[in-house]
Structure 1
């Protein structure tokens, strides 16, 4: 397994992260636990999760998998949807209870996909207050945010944070072989994160399989491309032992890509990526869980 430094935190984490959403999909809970523990046994230390994944099932299963000493071997992250201090605090405590731990290593503000989300987060009664109180209480060590819609929203979140004299420890965003051609996080956000020393968490390297439907790239190529960027972690969905093998193989076989190799990959994906067809999280509401469930945000009715 490759290990990298998580931005300015100096934490060493596995370059491959286990996506929390997919470990709630197995028919049998014990299979989810087996996948998680096998990933840890094979060197994956970065565990991704979220308060809303599979109605809490993902956190519950990961919490069980991290018993018997496994919690001590991982860097645990989860995400919170609540935009208000009150709801965010409630969700934080619910996540900790499900995960059977008194702290996560990283707490992230989930699904920053609207231009007004930064204002809500940093409002006087916004979620930032709950996050800071959680950090002071030892419930988390680091704070970050995630989003998948548009790089402009990420840039605005970073700008509003700066106005409040706050710097995030991590930012999670789509980084893949097609992103470079359409509303690109790689081109617009990644350089800012690198300059500021913010840990880069790449996600949607295959866009939940949508990128593979283009038939122009293979799974290992997708993972290698994301690993070749200045990412601290590439979080990937692992819903079976076969997919775990694939993720481990990607780490084992990764070597920095030459500029010629990168150019060849980008040339191969340019035409099919130009309009975002294979990145529906940018162009559709398919991945917008909080839009479908506005009560998770805790905002007053319109």
Structure 2
């Protein structure tokens, strides 16, 4: 399994990471099997979130990490709470579900509103909770995620600079269609590289919606994202077959030359227009905290 450095953390992570939402889709036994097989095959980056499948994804991952598997994993989860109190409570709940006393990376989830940067960094905001939790040894690194608009990511990074804060990792959509529409690749990726922040690529297939365009394959999607300066490309695997596809794509990956990249971009240019297949940018379908705004305030699932 190819490994890459996670920004300035000094940690090596697998080129492909296991998405947390999808392990809550099959039966519990199968979800646990997917996690353990991924770790046995060399994937060490595990993604999750406090709200995935009403907490079931974290519970399953916690069970999968028993019997010595925790030491194989770089464990990441995300929190919705925007207040210090809400974030602290959700973090403690995630620690209990995951069965660990320390999470490797905790990220502020769904930074998708223009108001999020000021709220997160404001007095009594979630950044205070994460900073204190890091000092207390509950987490190692801090990041944020979002999928709506690159300008919001840039605003979050500016807010961090203004408060003398440095993120360790940032998660965002990176795929063959993003390059053509509201592009995180073109607008945010260079900033992260310049700052030495770990780049977590997601939505390489847009939850499979990109494949509905019929202009690109799953392996092409994965390889395009891997070819960018990503630390890890996180992909959802709800079956052993999909997991095997991700592992095989990672092992087979070879750096692409510019001509090969241009071929993929040319194939996807028309389909990418107006974000038709990037529903996470153009609709609220993937906005869990829009559908459940109380999660931002600390309401329990």
TM-score (norm 1): 0.98
Question: How far has the Cα of 1:133 moved from its partner?
Answer: 0.8
2:59 matches 1:67 = no
Q: Which residue of 2 aligns with 1:228?
A: 227
Correspondence list, 1:112-123, <5 A: 112-123=111-122
C-alpha distance in structure 2 between counterparts of 1:137 and 1:277, whole Å: 44
Q: Which residue of 2 aligns with 1:287?
A: 286
Q: Which residue of 2 aligns with 1:244?
A: 243
Correspondence list, 1:125-274, <5 A: 125-274=124-273
Q: Does the 8 Å CA contact 2:80/2:110 hold for their aligned counterparts?
A: yes
C-alpha distance in structure 2 between counterparts of 1:7 and 1:113, whole Å: 23
CA RMSD of aligned residues (A): 0.9
The SS at the match of 2:271 is helix
Question: How far has the Cα of 1:274 moved from its partner?
Answer: 1.5
The SS at the match of 2:275 is coil
> Structure 1 runs of 4+ off > 3 angstroms?
none
Deviations 1:170-213 (A, max 9, x none): 00000000000000000000000000000000000000010000
The SS at the match of 2:297 is coil
Pair 1:114–1:231, CA change in 2 (3 A) = same
C-alpha distance in structure 1 between counterparts of 2:204 and 2:98, whole Å: 26
Q: Which residue of 2 aligns with 1:7?
A: 7
Q: Which residue of 2 aligns with 1:51?
A: 50
Question: How far has the Cα of 1:299 moved from its partner?
Answer: 7.9
Which runs of 5 or more structure 2 residues have no equivalent in the other structure? Answer: none
Deviations 1:231-285 (A, max 9, x none): 0000000000000110011111100001000000000000010210000000000
The SS at the match of 1:172 is strand
C-alpha distance in structure 2 between counterparts of 1:144 and 1:33, whole Å: 26
Q: Does the 8 Å CA contact 2:9/2:168 hold for their aligned counterparts?
A: yes
C-alpha distance in structure 2 between counterparts of 1:291 and 1:275, whole Å: 22
C-alpha distance in structure 1 between counterparts of 2:257 and 2:156, whole Å: 33
Q: Which residue of 2 aligns with 1:296?
A: 295
The count of corresponding residues between Structure 1 and Structure 2 is: 299
C-alpha distance in structure 2 between counterparts of 1:237 and 1:294, whole Å: 24
C-alpha distance in structure 1 between counterparts of 2:28 and 2:291, whole Å: 26
Question: How far has the Cα of 1:111 moved from its partner?
Answer: 0.3
Pair 1:175–1:117, CA change in 2 (3 A) = same
C-alpha distance in structure 2 between counterparts of 1:10 and 1:129, whole Å: 24
The SS at the match of 1:268 is helix
Deviations 1:13-70 (A, max 9, x none): 10100000000011x2111110100000000000000000000000000000000000
Which runs of 5 or more structure 1 residues have no equivalent in the other structure? Answer: none
The SS at the match of 1:7 is coil
Q: Which residue of 2 aligns with 1:18?
A: 18
Deviations 1:122-179 (A, max 9, x none): 0111001110111011000100000000000000000011000001000000000000
Correspondence list, 1:24-43, <5 A: 24-26=24-26, 28-43=27-42
Question: How far has the Cα of 1:2 moved from its partner?
Answer: 0.8
Q: Does the 8 Å CA contact 2:86/2:298 hold for their aligned counterparts?
A: no
TM-score (norm 2): 0.98
